[in-house]
Amino acid sequence: MKRPGVAIALVHYPIVDRRGDRVTTAVTNLDIHDLARTSRTYGVERVYLVTPLVEQQHLVDRILDHWRQGHGASYNPKRAEALKLVTLVASLEEALADWKTISGQEPWPVLTGAACQGGISFGRCREKLAEQALLLIFGTGWGLAPELFERGWTVLEPIVGAGDTYNHLPVRSAAAIMLDRLLGATER
């Protein structure tokens, strides 16, 4: 039987900034490309870009059109293939609803972040992928806002690098490492 699918969401609201204030971050072209390519490489089925700002949605639409149908698609077909995974939504609720329709299951939302002490282990999360469609949720800026952690959703343990106190991975790198730990085929 096919494993239930995996989707990711990159959240631009609600996010905290460096002072801990609630903000909407700007969508960046590079996040879209990097997350789409990494997701395609690891067999992730959907990449949800979450932003409630209509102007930002229009900007993302233009970028996606260029690479999926415009000049970019013929220049770099591999890029086009990856960007087909990207779906623009206004909220996490919309992402969950869409992913439920596609996967045919109630999705399992899992929050990530550098400060997620006490979260479930990568090993346990990997096991659970056999049972339920996953939506792995990443923040931008200085991270997902606290109210998202008050929903009772599962939290994934943070990546620990060399084990000292420095832990400031770009979301592009953190997502790549997490997908490799959860979905990578290579024996360790």
Provide, rounded to whole angstroms, the least separation between the CB of residue 3 and a copy of itself. 10
C-alpha 52/C-alpha 92 separation (Å) is 10
At a CB cut-off of 8 Å and minimum separation 6, what does 149 contact?
Answer: 111, 155
- Binding range to a copy of itself, per CB under 8 A, among 9-17, 59-67, 97-105, 180-188: 180-188
At a CB cut-off of 8 Å and minimum separation 6, what does 67 contact?
Answer: 73, 76, 79, 80, 83
Indicate whether 82 belongs to the interface with a copy of itself (CB under 8 A): yes
C-alpha 113/C-alpha 111 separation (Å) is 7
Among residues 37, 109, 155, 156, which is the contact residue for a copy of itself, using CB under 8 A? Answer: 37
Among residues 58, 93, 124, 173, which is the contact residue for a copy of itself, using CB under 8 A? Answer: 173
| 81 vs 98, beta carbon nearer a copy of itself | 81
Which residues are 47's β-sheet partners? 8, 86
Query: What angle, 0 to 180 degrees and rounded to 10, lies between the N-to-C axes of helices 171-183 and 29-41?
Result: 10
Indicate whether 71 belongs to the interface with a copy of itself (CB under 8 A): no
Kindly state the number of chain residues that form the binding site for a copy of itself, as judged by CB under 8 A.
42
Residue 137 sits at φ, ψ, to 5 deg, of: -110, 120
Provide, rounded to whole angstroms, the least separation between the CB of residue 91 and a copy of itself. 27
Provide, rounded to whole angstroms, the least separation between the CB of residue 29 and a copy of itself. 10
- The whole-angstrom distance between residue 118's C-alpha and the CA centroid of its chain comes to 20
Range 152-171, binding a copy of itself (CB under 8 A)? 157, 159-164, 166-170
Among residues 24, 70, 122, 153, which is the contact residue for a copy of itself, using CB under 8 A? Answer: 122
Give me the DSSP letters along 56-67.
HHHHHHHHHHHH
Please give the residue ranges that form the binding site for a copy of itself (CB under 8 A).
30, 33-34, 37-38, 40-43, 78-79, 81-82, 122-123, 157, 159-164, 166-170, 172-177, 179-181, 183-188
